[in-house]
């Protein structure tokens, strides 16, 4: 899904960070709309609006799209939200519209990331534990929707044997990982809630201490269903990490945060007598705290420090490499290989755009062709030093050019740090004779 949306964004707009972030936020807005619509099935307008606002103003929603734009993790949110809403409405109304939308959203969730299996399992558990939803298992339309969903993902299922998707997913399950690694991954789940859901949880915690917020658990089937789904999802996640050794990062929490916020909305209400003041405070805090945090973090991260993610002189480095290549060869390069950061970043910035492939997965991906590399050549580039052993193993008995390097200053930083690129060329055999230097 992220490749499709990334390609579509590039074709319709441009291959720039701005449009990637913009499109990501459009999808987030759709997810928030589904969140509000789902909450309105069980709580009043005020609670639905406030909890949707708290999710919208959370750190992930305003900061996550910057480094994770169009990433599969963040793109899960609107599809998961759509699945939950249409599942509830399909069970309640039995309308074909919701069954069809459920099938479409479920297929999109699978194409986005296999984590969708956790959502489907959680919804299944909730449907069995919440009495009002058990009848769905006897509904013919449910099975028709499942059939449509399977048909929609069938092309991927049939092609998965020739893809690297399963291999990538399998590498994330470190069954041999020790207890320390698993504890760290469990800690990452908690970090995701603490870091990415702020200031939402802080506002609610303060509200409970001030008695602005009250524990007012909704008892209707929808509320029960949402709480069971959230509990099951986090339970499955803990089992995957603690028992199966799933490698986990806090940024993966985004879809679980959405489930947590909806579950919390069914448990926490607001003191009606204090509501006008509460509404004002929530709006003020939800606006001011993220703005201050974003400004401070932006200044620290983007001005007074230097790093290789948002301050890398990618365009200038790609231009230097392309200029050096063009002085020697009349065609290519077909690929930019090397470490993962250089291979991807420099390939996108190169003109014409080359195909970037990290050397470590070069022989595992379908979009690398050794014959094409031999014909049109490749640039092998690393930050700092070249991984000589890896290069030698990847290109045995192949004569590469002499290793060279250049150093460029980091962009938009007062830290005055630099970044060094070391590179060699895989000379193309399909070009004319090298140009005289």
Please identify which residue in the block is written with the tokens 């050019």.
401
Q: What's the pLDDT tens digit per position in 357-415?
A: 998 888 878 888 889 988 999 999 998 888 888 888 888 888 898 899 999 998 877 77
48-80 CB burial, b ≥16 within 10 A, e <16: bbbbbbbbbbbbbbbbbbbebbbbbbbbbbbbb
Residue listed under structure tokens 């939402």: 200
Same domain? For 16 and 72 the reply is yes
434 found inside a domain: no
Domain span holding position 244: 2-301
Query: Does the pLDDT of residue 176 top 50, yes or no?
Result: no
Q: Tens of pLDDT along 101-117?
A: 999 999 999 999 989 99
Q: Where are the alpha helices (DSSP H) in 14-95?
A: 17-39, 45-56, 59-63, 65-68, 72-93
Single residue among 270, 301, 332 that ends a domain in this structure: 301
pLDDT grade for 267, boundaries at 50, 70 and 90: very high
Question: Cα dist. 44→207, 262, 270, 331 in Å?
Answer: 18, 13, 11, 65
Same domain, 286 and 350: no
Same-domain status, 359 and 265: no
Number of domains in the chain: 2
* Structural domain includes residue 83: yes
Q: Domain check: are 221 and 259 in the same one?
A: yes
Listed residues 246, 272, 301: the one ending a domain: 301
Co-location of 266 and 197 in the same domain: yes
Same domain, 235 and 356: no
Domain shared by 269 and 357, yes or no: no
Lowest mean pLDDT among 46-55, 96-105, 225-234, 245-254: 245-254
335: number of Cβ within 10 Å? 25
Residue 332 lies in a domain: yes
Let me know if 164 is exposed, middle or buried by CB neighbors in 10 A (0-12, 13-18, 19+).
Answer: middle
309 within some domain: no
Whether residue 252 is found in the same domain as residue 320: no
pLDDT in tens, 5-29: 988 988 888 777 788 888 999 999 9
Asked if residue 130 is part of any domain, the answer here is yes
- Whole-model pTM? 0.78
Residue 431 lies in a domain: no
**Does 186 share its domain with 297?**
yes
Burial class (CB in 10 A: 0-12, 13-18, 19+), 318: buried
User: Does residue 276 share a domain with residue 327?
Assistant: no
Token code pair at residue 277:
């003041």
pLDDT band, very low/low/confident/very high, at 62 (cuts 50, 70, 90): confident
Which tens digits make up the pLDDT trace of 283-310? 788 778 777 877 887 777 767 776 666 7
Beta carbons of 5 and 25 less than 8 angstroms apart: no
Tell whether 149 and 127 lie within a shared domain: yes
The answer to whether position 306 is within a domain reads no
Dist CA 420 CA 384 (whole Å): 5
pLDDT at 59: 87
Looking at every residue in the chain, the average pLDDT score rounds to 87
In a domain, 433, yes or no: no
Is there a single domain that holds both residue 144 and residue 290? Answer: yes
Residues 6+ apart with CB under 8 A from 105: 79, 82, 83, 86
Residue finishing a domain among 257, 274, 301: 301
Cα dihedral 86, 87, 89, 90 in deg (nearest 10): 100
């Amino acid at each position: 899904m992220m490749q499709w949306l990334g390609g579509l964004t590039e074709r319709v707009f441009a291959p720039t960070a701005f449009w990637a972030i913009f499109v990501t936020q459009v999808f987030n807005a759709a997810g928030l709309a589904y969140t509000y619509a789902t909450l309105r099935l069980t709580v009043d307008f005020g609670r639905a609006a406030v909890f949707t606002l708290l999710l919208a103003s959370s750190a992930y929603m305003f900061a996550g799209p910057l480094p994770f734009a169009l990433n599969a993790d963040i793109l899960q949110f609107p599809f998961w939200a759509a699945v939950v809403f249409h599942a509830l409405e399909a069970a309640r109304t039995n309308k074909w519209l919701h069954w069809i939308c459920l099938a479409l959203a479920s297929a999109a969730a699978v194409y986005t990331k296999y984590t969708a299996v956790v959502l489907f399992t959680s919804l299944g558990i909730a449907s069995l534990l919440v009495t009002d939803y058990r009848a769905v298992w006897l509904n013919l339309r449910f099975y028709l929707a499942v059939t449509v969903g399977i048909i929609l993902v069938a092309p991927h299922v049939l092609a998965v044997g020739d893809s690297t998707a399963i291999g990538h997913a399998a590498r994330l399950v470190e069954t041999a990982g020790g207890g320390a690694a698993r504890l760290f991954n469990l800690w990452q789940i908690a970090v995701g809630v603490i870091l990415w859901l702020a200031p939402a949880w802080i506002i609610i915690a303060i509200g409970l201490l001030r008695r602005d917020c009250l524990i007012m658990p909704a008892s209707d089937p929808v509320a029960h269903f949402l709480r069971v789904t959230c509990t099951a999802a986090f339970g499955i996640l803990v089992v995957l990490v603690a028992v199966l050794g799933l490698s986990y990062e806090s940024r993966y929490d985004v879809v679980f945060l959405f489930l947590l916020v909806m579950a919390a909305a069914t448990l926490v209400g607001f003191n009606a007598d204090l509501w006008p003041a509460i509404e004002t405070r929530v709006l003020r805090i939800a606006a001011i705290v993220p703005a201050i945090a974003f400004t401070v973090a932006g200044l620290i991260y983007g001005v007074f420090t230097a790093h290789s993610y948002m301050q890398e002189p990618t365009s200038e480095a790609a231009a230097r490499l392309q200029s050096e290549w063009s002085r020697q060869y009349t065609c290519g390069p077909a690929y930019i290989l090397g470490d993962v950061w250089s291979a991807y970043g420099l390939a996108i910035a190169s003109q014409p755009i080359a195909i970037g492939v990290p050397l470590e997965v070069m022989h595992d991906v379908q979009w690398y062709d050794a014959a094409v590399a031999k014909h049109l050549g490749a640039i092998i580039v690393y930050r700092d030093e070249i991984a000589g052993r890896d290069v030698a193993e990847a290109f045995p008995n192949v004569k590469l050019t002499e290793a060279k390097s250049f150093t460029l200053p980091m962009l938009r930083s007062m830290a005055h740090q630099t970044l060094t690129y070391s590179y060699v060329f895989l000379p193309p055999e399909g070009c004319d004779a090298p140009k005289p230097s």
